[in-house]
Structure 1
Amino acid sequence: MSDPTLLWALAGAILCLMELFFPTAFIEFMMGLSAFLVAIVSLRFRSLTLQIALWLLCSVLFVVLTRRFLSPKPSNLASGDDRCGETLTEIPPGKAGRVLYEGNSWRARCGDENCAIAPSEPVYIIGREGNTLIVMPQNILNS
């Protein structure tokens, strides 16, 4: 077990698998890919210090690049543009459900704690708390 190539490959596999069970926005996955890269480099360069430095550098670089190219675009929620969506699941009174907004599924709850919203019903987004949209049924707002 003293072969550094095997250890780096094993670390890469473990980190990549951990992303499946404990999602961290691809951070563990990028660290795992970095470990695989270092496993390849360790075939040529045996310096442990160099391998660790390369792993740290690649991990940071991969995470930064992933954030830059895969991060979601800012929501138009604050600009007052199209704020219409459609429920994917029922939103029971006082509980959360799922809403389709801007082509993505969002966690959502009704702005009226006593109101239930049926699936496939058009809704109007009235606010946002973190990653949860606050919605109201359009038929109530149009009445």
Structure 2
Amino acid sequence: SPRKLEPSVTSPPNLCLRYRPSGATRFCFNFQCGGLGSDIAFHFNPRFRHKEMVRNSFQDGDWGTEERKCHGFPFAPGVHFDLLIRVLDTCFDVAVNGQHYLQFQHRLQPLQRVSHFSVEGDVMVAACKFQYC
């Protein structure tokens, strides 16, 4: 279920995650504007079977246009990875294992609406840290 974030006057927190996909076929995480069914500012969804990295947003009951183009697929089933998601003025900036990986331009404004974070699928969270700037 979605985890409530501390309120922020500027933007959601940066997020540091350590994960281990447990025989993963796919998992996702969402920066969202409330509980289940609410708008999603950033949907991050690695799909292992096809080595696709899907990103999207969900607003007013509809998914936006998926972004799939990426340089490589740095995830493997059962292998730990560290994820850093920085919330910049224009985008979410994602690094995997200390290496820049992708950016997702903000589609949902204002960012202060983002109040929850959720993780779903075949993954175990080993550590999770929110950094408020």
* TM-score in same-fold range (> 0.5): no
Structure with the larger helix share? 1
- Could you state the TM-score of these two structures normalised by the residue count of structure 1? 0.24
- Could you state the TM-score of these two structures normalised by the residue count of structure 2? 0.26
Please tell me whether Structure 1 or Structure 2 has the larger radius of gyration of its CA atoms.
1
Higher relative contact order (CA 8 A, sep 6+): 2
Structure with the larger strand share? 2
